[in-house]
Structure 1
Amino acid sequence: MKHLEENTLSVSTIYNGKIIDVEVQDVSLPNGSTSKREIVKHPGAVAIIAVTKENKLLLVRQYRKALEKVIVEIPAGKLEKGEDPKESAVRELQEETGYESGSLRSIGSFYTSPGFADELIHLYVAEDLTFSKQQLDEDEFLDVLEVSLEEAEQMVLNEEIHDAKTVYAVQYLQLQQLLTK
């Protein structure tokens, strides 16, 4: 695959933020030309497909400034520096929904926008849920929803669910349902 690789010639960090850093990289292309790449550096994240004993999917409704609107998503959050993804999933589920999981398992990970960002989301399924106490971050405001798979499917069709990780979650649950029939 060497014939596809780009070699980094120089890196300039143009922004260091609380959540992301932004770099401009000068690269040499496989054909010998050079180009610039704008790269968003992100510490990674977790997302949780949380299913209650009543077979309801836990979702959160929150305002997303980048979109200038409220959207519905599965619980998720940024990894803290050096944090184990599974520990982050436990923390984020409890903070955002108030639920703790008796069974938490990894089902894989995926890149969100590999054309310009290195963010990797680790996806978990949480079951055997018990409610304890919601502990939102001080700058976090959201509503928790419990919906059936059929309701979630309709929300995808109506674009009430409109982000990739949550659509992925709904499709994962649909596939699991097909496999258990």
Structure 2
Amino acid sequence: MNFKVIKSNIVFEGKVFSVKVDDIQYNGSGNLATRQVAVHPGGAVVLPLKSNGKIIFVKQFRYPHNEFVVELPAGKLDKGEDPEKCAVRELKEETGYSPEKVVKLGKIYTTPGFCNETLHIYLAENLTEGEHAREEGEEDMELIEMTLQEAEEKIRNGEIVDAKTISGLMMFKLYNQD
């Protein structure tokens, strides 16, 4: 690091994220600067693969964009929660499916320029169907099944725009090449 933190303050604490403002000083020049960071607990993303080769997606309304978005099931980590447990929990809550096998595909930093969120991405296989337990606001969630090739076409034509989903699909594709 070429700087030191002079002062750090949480200026906003929300349900999903907080905002931290740091005053920093560069080592070489001594110049001062301010950094604003969205502090997020992280989350887990799960790519549920059915035995027929189809992937289960959810289509849900996303308030910031005021539209429905097709994405892989995902959710925020509870304090101290293991990311794999979060992935399994979110899969069950959003789709009703439970996996027999879970494999970590990797992790991503969603927006490293201003946010510390890390998303852990998992493959879930040998699925058992069950009842979902969606949270308030997720009642209109719809399940969509498609192959990897169909998903890639939806990325090409702009129907899948969610970054964690595109990343998860790429990680899955690379995992399958090994």
Q: With structure 2 as the length reference, what TM-score do the two structures score?
A: 0.93
Per the TM alignment, residue 44 of structure 1 is displaced from its structure 2 partner at its CA by 0.6
Q: How many residues align?
A: 176
Out of 14, 17, 35, the residue aligned to residue 14 of structure 2 is: 17
Shift of 1:137: 0.9
Is the CA contact (8 Å cut-off) linking 2:105 and 2:172 kept in structure 1?
no
Structure 1 residues not aligned, in runs of 5+: none
Once the two structures are aligned, what percentage of the paired residues are identical?
Answer: 36
- Counterpart CA distance in 1 for 2:129 and 2:2 is 48
- Counterparts in 2 of 1:89-168, with a 5 A limit? 89-141=87-139, 142-168=141-167
State whether residues 24 and 34 of structure 2, in contact with CA within 8 Å, keep that contact through their aligned partners in structure 1.
yes
For 2:152 and 2:69, the matched residues in 1 are separated by 15
Deviations 1:46-88 (A, max 9, x none): 0001100110011111111111211111000000011111111
Alignment of 1:36-47 (within 5 A): 36-47=34-45
Q: Tell me if 1:63 matches 2:61.
A: yes
Task: Please tell me the residue identity of whatever aligns with 1:36.
Answer: T
Specify the SS of the correspondent of 2:155.
helix
Which consecutive aligned stretches of 4+ in structure 1 deviate over 3 angstroms post-superposition?
Answer: none
- CA 1:5–1:97 in structure 2 vs 1: closer, same or farther (change >3 Å)? farther
Structure 2 Cα separation of the partners of residues 74 and 127 of structure 1: 14
Q: Give, in whole Å, the separation in 2 of the partners of 1:176 and 1:45.
A: 21
Q: What is the CA–CA distance in structure 1 between the aligned matches of 2:174 and 2:25, rounded to whole Å?
A: 42
Aligned with 1:66: secondary structure? Answer: helix
Deviations 1:92-136 (A, max 9, x none): 000011100010111221211111000010111100011011110
- SS of 1:117 mapped into structure 2: coil
CA distances 1:18-56 after superposition (whole Å, capped 9, x unpaired): 110011111112432110011100001000011001100
Could you tell me which runs of 5 or more consecutive residues in structure 2 were left unpaired when the two chains were aligned: none
